């Protein structure tokens, strides 16, 4: 199996090298902003996405939100985290992306105000960093709420980067 795969890769390489019209795969990056726990600081991390995802705004937004929900790869204990089991559905109208949160976060949020604000700041900065997105409306199980259950951060208006302290 390995031998045949290697042969295939080698053949593809040779074929590519021989062709004058070969295309060099374009590398696409997406920046995910993770919130540093207990602060308002964001840490940008870059991820590579393939061309199919990069070319599809909806797929790119979903990818970005899923990266946030999954948490950072390294140093996860120093970053704010969405509660395990949180999932989201994404939709877009004009320049506003709607993120509908489901799972434990819809029942209550157990962090204090600092991490709660950082969560939504990281979500907003990440999504508004994508092409054609200027604001984020958060829903909780399909409903627009004043705040998460047990939370403080106001969610009944779309969030923009201006919502947060610079």
Residue 25 or 77: the one with the smaller Cβ distance to other proteins is 77
Classify strands 96-102 and 135-140 as parallel, antiparallel or unpaired: parallel
Residue 60 or 125: the one with the smaller Cβ distance to other proteins is 125
**Any contact of residue 43 with other proteins (CB under 8 A)?**
no
Build a one-symbol-per-residue string for 101-140: x at contacts with other proteins by CB under 8 A, - elsewhere.
Answer: -------x-xxxxxx-x-----------------------
Minimum distance from CB of 117 to other proteins (Å)?
5
Q: Which of 78, 85, 87, 95 binds other proteins (CB under 8 A)?
A: 78
* Cβ atoms 33, 44 nearer than 8 A: yes
- CA dist 128 and 136 (Å) reads 8
Residue 90 or 121: the one with the smaller Cβ distance to other proteins is 121
* Cβ atoms 62, 133 nearer than 8 A: no
- CA dist 101 and 106 (Å) reads 7
| 124 phi, psi to nearest 5 deg | -70, -45
The stretch among 5-13, 56-64, 90-98, 145-153 that binds other proteins (CB under 8 A) is 145-153
Residue 53 or 125: the one with the smaller Cβ distance to other proteins is 125
**Any contact of residue 85 with other proteins (CB under 8 A)?**
no
Q: Which residues contact 116 (CB under 8 A, 6 or more apart)?
A: 109, 148, 151, 152, 153
* Cβ atoms 71, 81 nearer than 8 A: yes
**Any contact of residue 74 with other proteins (CB under 8 A)?**
no
Q: Which residues bind other proteins (CB under 8 A)?
A: 37-40, 77-81, 108, 110-115, 117, 145-154, 156, 163-165
């Amino acid at each position: 199996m390995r031998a045949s795969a290697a042969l295939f890769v080698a053949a593809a390489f040779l074929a590519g090298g021989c062709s004058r019209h070969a295309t060099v795969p374009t590398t696409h990056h997406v920046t995910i902003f993770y919130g540093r726990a207990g602060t308002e600081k964001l840490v940008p991390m870059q991820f590579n996405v393939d061309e199919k995802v990069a070319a599809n705004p909806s797929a790119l937004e979903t990818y970005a939100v899923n990266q946030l929900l999954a948490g950072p790869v390294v140093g996860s204990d120093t970053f704010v985290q969405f509660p395990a089991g949180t999932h989201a559905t994404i939709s877009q109208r004009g320049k506003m992306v709607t993120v509908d949160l489901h799972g434990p976060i819809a029942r209550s949020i157990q962090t204090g105000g600092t991490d709660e604000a950082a969560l939504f700041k990281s979500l907003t900065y990440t999504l508004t960093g994508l092409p054609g997105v200027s604001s984020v409306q958060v829903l909780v199980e399909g409903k627009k709420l004043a705040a998460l259950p047990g939370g403080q951060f106001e969610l009944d208006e779309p969030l923009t980067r201006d919502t947060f302290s610079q």
